Amino acid sequence: MTAFGDFTGRAERLDDIDLPRIASRIGVGEDELHALIEVETKGGGFDSRGRPRILFEPHVFYRCLSGAKRDKAVAQGLAYAKWGQKPYGKESEQYPRLVRAMAIDETAALKACSWGLPQILGENHAMIGFSSVQDMVRAFLDDEEAHLEAMVAFIRAAKIDDDLRRIAALNRPSTAEDWREVARPYNGPKYAKHGYHTRLAKAHVKWRGIRDTAWSAPLPPARPADIDLVAAPAQIAAPAMTEYEVRALQQQLKDALYDPGFVDGKMGTRTRAELFAVQTDNGLPATGEMNPETRAFILTHGVPTRHLAPERETATAASLAGAGRLPPAAQAALKGGFWAKVQAAFATVAMMIYGAWEQSGDTLSALSPFKEDLFAAGPWLFFGAVIAISLVLWLRSRNAVDQTVRAVRLGRDTGA
């Protein structure tokens, strides 16, 4: 028996209202969270015995240990250095492995499991607001609502809430390509090996076809008085923004690396979505409207620069191509740029050969009839045109690739 008994607690399931209520905190609907939950745990955070569903991950146990403890875990087949070295095994095998691992090191063993609905590693407990992995496990024993809260906390901490909002705003069925930026931080760099992004897209399309739970957000609570606000009656709506104010807001959003679309003075869907993102990023009441708290915050602080995941900020054409993340058009442009350079190099070499031919004098005089026929149309003009066209093609393809890299760095590559 462990300090957690048999890992059973109240094991309360989600209420229907929990999904839309908690999803609204990051500006998405229940379909986006449903997709993640279905792929991770097929919809249930507890097993048939009322224990949180877990996956014991030996490669994580390995990195959480050292010295004699690691050697002991390896000898017992509970730890190995690389992901995928051995199969994970059946669901029924996970808790027995965890209990054996806890006998070696409780904290490391709990950290090495993915837990509950969101299948978040215990190793990431601090990322989702728990002071210890033990506290995280205790919370997960009692209620799937705690699982869902942890999922949303992880999404925020991993900075993929903006990617989920883009998916939620799509006016077409989402695709595997749309889900790549969510799949990579959530499932790890090997996500594509098992089609994780493809399964997310399939689940999302399914849940979009199912009627959502009826729910509407309550009025936002008053923000703590860390900013000097002029109190206004809760029942009075904030005054509508003028076209000039909307333009100014849109420009501020763009300058801060958000993407409100055109600076046109219209408070459209994209502008509202990005304002919502600013509100959630800065702990403001998230309404997608210019409420008094948001107005006061922006007047005081401006729109803070949006922080993206490090892998976005350091993206290059080579890294995106190597990871298979360049869209087909950009891949074609990259290949086109390569062949344009090859063509230009070929033309340059041909011009050098022709120049040598021109200067060869009597040595090649016997070839003059062939030379005159071959270059009667003006060889220098021909080769010059080939080089010029090749350079234009290369510059255009380079520009297309650069635009794709910039879109990834700014978080604008999933689009609606």
Least confident of 64-73, 199-208, 372-381: 372-381
* pTM reported for the whole predicted model: 0.56
Question: pLDDT tens digits for 109-153?
Answer: 999 999 999 999 999 999 888 999 999 999 999 999 999 999 999
Kindly report the average pLDDT of the chain as a whole number: 79
Higher-scoring residue by pLDDT: 27, 233:
27
3-class DSSP string for 98-164: HHHHHHHCHHHHHHCEEECCCCEEHHHCHHHCCCCHHHHHHHHHHEHHHHHHHHHHHHHHCCCHHHH
Question: pLDDT tens digits for 270-289?
Answer: 788 788 888 877 888 877 78
User: Environment class of residue 31 by beta-carbon count within 10 Å: exposed (0-12), middle (13-18) or buried (19+)?
Assistant: buried
Is residue 123 within 8 A of residue 131, CB to CB? The reply is: no
At 10 the pLDDT is 93
- Mean of pLDDT values over 319-340: 59
Higher-scoring residue by pLDDT: 324, 107:
107
- Mean of pLDDT values over 23-31: 90
Is residue 148 within 8 A of residue 19, CB to CB? The reply is: yes
Question: pLDDT tens digits for 31-71?
Answer: 999 999 999 988 789 999 999 999 999 999 999 999 999 99
Least confident of 38-52, 79-93, 231-245, 351-365: 351-365
Higher-scoring residue by pLDDT: 256, 359:
256
pLDDT band at 343 (very low <50, low <70, confident <90, very high): low
75-78: long-range pairs with CB below 8 Å, 24+: 76/100, 76/104, 78/104
Provide the token pair at 294: 């948001």
Give me the residues paired with residue 115 across strands: 54, 120
At 381 the pLDDT is 63
Is pLDDT of 104 > 90? Answer: yes
Least confident of 240-254, 337-351, 374-388, 389-403: 337-351
Q: How do 54-56 and 120-121 pair as beta strands?
A: unpaired
Question: pLDDT tens digits for 282-308?
Answer: 888 877 788 888 887 887 778 888 766
